[in-house]
Amino acid sequence: MAVWLVPAIVAAVIAIGLYKKVNVYETLTDGAKEGMHTWVSIVPHLVMMMAAVAVFRSSGAAQWIAGWISPFTSMLGIPPDVVPIAMIRPISGSATLAMLDQIMQEHGPDSYPAKLAAVMQGSTDTTLYVLAIYFGAAGIKKTGDALKIGLLADGAAFLFSVLAVTWLL
């Protein structure tokens, strides 16, 4: 569907622009210039955040913490192998995709851990990146409660995933 959606949107914008006698090429390039400014303001956030995430991931800290809390998470219906996914998800999407791949390899793609991990991955976003990039682009220094809300909502999404997989699959 996405294959048709994007060209349709672009075509509609240009066609309506021409019909409304907008100088389409000028607005396109003007906007593009604005996009470049936005890009410049998010690059420092990308570099710094990815550095911190890389250090955290490669140190094995997530696996340790997951080991400590796995007795509690098992009570909630989250298998030990899935706990690191829940921990890393808010900071790195590509890392959890790799972990999901591994879980499917080990348990099979139709097993409970694989389905749960897949639903968790599909129902959440990389909260920390989104916040760093969006607030970075707008030049916001004080982010209020945004991170707290994002992380608590991620936590809730993981618990809802357990319920949804148990009841709907």
Residues numbered 100 to 119 that lie near other proteins (CB under 8 A) are: 100-101, 104-105, 108-110, 114-115, 118-119
- Based on its alpha-carbon atoms, the radius of gyration of the chain, rounded to whole angstroms, reads 21
Query: CA 62, CA 67: separation in Å to the nearest integer?
Result: 8
For other proteins, the closer of residues 80 and 160 by Cβ is: 160
Rounded to a whole number of angstroms, the minimum distance from the CB of residue 74 to other proteins is: 20
- DSSP per-residue codes, 72-120: HHHHTT--GGGHHHHHHTTT-HHHHHHHHHHHHHHH-TTSHHHHHHHHH
**Is there binding between residue 150 and other proteins (CB under 8 A)?**
yes
Q: Of these, 7, 55, 72, 74, which contacts other proteins (CB under 8 A)?
A: 55
Residue 4, CA atoms < 13 Å, CB-side half-sphere:
1
Q: Which of residues 60-89 bind other proteins (CB under 8 A)?
A: 60-61, 64
Interface segment toward other proteins; rule CB under 8 A; list 35-43, 66-74, 79-87: 35-43
Query: C-beta of 76: minimal distance to other proteins in Å?
Result: 14
Distances, alpha carbon 31 to alpha carbons 28, 36, 83, 87, in Å: 5, 9, 43, 38
To which residue do tokens 């707008």 refer?
138
Please tell me the distance from the alpha carbon of residue 15 to that of residue 136, in angstroms, as a whole number: 33
Residue of 67, 72, 74, 149 interacting with other proteins (CB under 8 A): 149
* Ramachandran assignment for 144, one of left (phi > 0), alpha (psi -120 to 50 degrees), beta (any other): left
Q: How far is the CB of 43 from other proteins (least distance, A)?
A: 5
Smaller CB distance to other proteins: residue 51 or 76? 51
Give the nearer residue to other proteins in terms of CB position, either 36 or 76.
Answer: 36
Give min distance, CB of 106 to other proteins, in A: 10
Tell me the closest approach of the beta carbon of residue 8 to other proteins, in angstroms: 11
